[in-house]
Amino acid sequence: MKQATDPAKERYALMEKIQMVDFALVELTLYLDTHPQDTQAIQQFNQLAVESRDLKSAYEQRFGPLRQYGGSFSGYPWNWGDSPWPWQL
Amino acid sequence: MWYYEKKLQYPVKVTECNPRLAKYLIEQYGGADGELSAALRYLNQRYSIPDKVIGLLTDIGTEEFAHLEMIATMIYKLTKDATPEQMKAAGLGAHYANHDHALYYNNAAGSAWTATYIQAKGDPIADLYEDIAAEEKARATYQWIINMSDDPCLNDSLKFLREREVVHSQRFREAVEILKFEKDRKQFF
């Protein structure tokens, strides 16, 4: 059995997807802070929130927890503190 | 409270070890218009600002910490493999003597961060105008650093941060309009 994809590449690719979706969420958050009645933007926000959650779950199954203090489940042994940290990637 | 997430807001890649560039970038780490100043300025102003704009200050202040982490990552990657000789040649000899390869909150000229960089006047318009000015100064600083940098990977991340300053400034300007509108409305009824 041959590994089809390079895990490091896959990590970067998946992380980049998360960064894209989360960036849209940051941008929509700030926009909605000053435009609270924009229905379309709220719809987009809620849709992307689901997408972000799903992408993070997929990432975490392969590469370990992303979110602190119970935002993500832990593996065994405790793997929150495992490298690499963001600046080491 | 705050939650840490093990990811950068935007990827940070550097082409090569370049402590000279790191020296300039420290301006955005511990300088007057840097990301630490920004985060602390906005999050501290929240407590006395009208409710209508607390959310915005909270969200922009939080994003500034993500930018601080990006700047730290740039400095770390640009200096981690530098020899003491390279640090010295890049103008970071004094930094190396005090901190080795550790990061520290000072500006490009080596002055330590100080709370006098930020203000909280308790007057919402004065505070928001300060915030707009801070964003414009940070945008200009990013531009000056980009002008001196020949690292295309790093410039990609710096351009992202420069654009965020533009968006933040825009949102703060809208916050001013929201407060003005509220004030007029109260007088009218």
Supply the DSSP string of B29-90, one letter for each residue: HHSTTSHHHHHHHHHHHGGGS-GGGHHHHHHHHHHHHHHHHHHHHHHHHHHTT--HHHHHHT
- Decide which of B22 and A4 is more confident: B22
Given the residues B27, B63, B64, B130, the one annotated as active site: B64
Q: Evaluate whether residue A29 is within a structural domain.
A: no
Q: Evaluate whether residue B34 is within a structural domain.
A: yes
| Closest residue on chain B to A31 (Cα) | B171
Specify the number of domains making up chain B: 1
Minimum-distance CB partner of B174 among A18, A22, A34: A34
CB A28 within 8 A of CB A41: yes
Q: Evaluate whether residue B1 is within a structural domain.
A: no
The pair of three-digit structure tokens given for residue B28, joined into one six-digit string: 């955005």
Taking an 8 Å cut-off on Cβ atoms, the answer to whether A68 and B60 are in contact is no
Specify the number of domains making up chain A: 1
Q: Evaluate whether residue B4 is within a structural domain.
A: no
How far apart are alpha carbons A43 and A32 in whole angstroms? Answer: 11
Amino acid identity of residue A6, one-letter, is D
Query: Residue with structure tokens 């390079």?
Result: A6
Phi and psi (nearest 5°) for B82?
-75, 135
- A1: pLDDT strictly greater than 80: no
Q: Evaluate whether residue A6 is within a structural domain.
A: no
Minimum-distance CB partner of B3 among A26, A67, A87: A67
Mean per-residue pLDDT of chain A = 95
pLDDT tens for each residue of B55-104: 999 999 999 999 999 999 999 999 999 999 999 999 999 999 999 999 99
pLDDT tens for each residue of B9-59: 999 999 999 999 999 999 999 999 999 999 999 999 999 999 999 999 999
Q: Evaluate whether residue A61 is within a structural domain.
A: yes
Q: Write down the pLDDT at residue A4.
A: 63
B168 is catalytic: yes
Query: Residue with structure tokens 């909280």?
Result: B120
Taking an 8 Å cut-off on Cβ atoms, the answer to whether A34 and B178 are in contact is yes
Range of the structural domain that residue A43 is part of: 36-65
- Torsion angle defined by CA atoms of residues A74, A79, A84 and A86, in that order, rounded to the nearest 10 degrees: 40
Q: What is the CATH number of the domain that holds B111?
A: 1.20.1260.10
Q: Which residues of A touch B76 (CB under 8 A)?
A: 87
Sequence-ordered list of residues with C-beta below 8 angstroms from that of A15, at least 6 positions apart, any chain: A59, A89, B7, B11
ipTM score assigned to the predicted complex:
0.95
What does the DSSP assignment read for A8-57?
HHHHHHHHHHHHHHHHHHHHHHHHHHH-TT-HHHHHHHHHHHHHHHHHHH
Compute the half-sphere exposure of residue B23: CA atoms within 13 Å on the CB side of its CA. 18
Q: Evaluate whether residue A52 is within a structural domain.
A: yes
Taking an 8 Å cut-off on Cβ atoms, the answer to whether A33 and B59 are in contact is yes
- A2: pLDDT strictly greater than 60: no
Q: Evaluate whether residue A30 is within a structural domain.
A: no
Residue B134 class from Cβ within 10 Å (0-12 exposed, 13-18 middle, 19+ buried)?
buried
The pair of three-digit structure tokens given for residue B133, joined into one six-digit string: 């000015």
| Closest residue on chain A to B75 (Cα) | A87
Mean pLDDT of B166-175: 98
Range of the structural domain that residue B73 is part of: 19-188
Give the residues across from B112 on adjacent strands: B106
Taking an 8 Å cut-off on Cβ atoms, the answer to whether A87 and B73 are in contact is yes
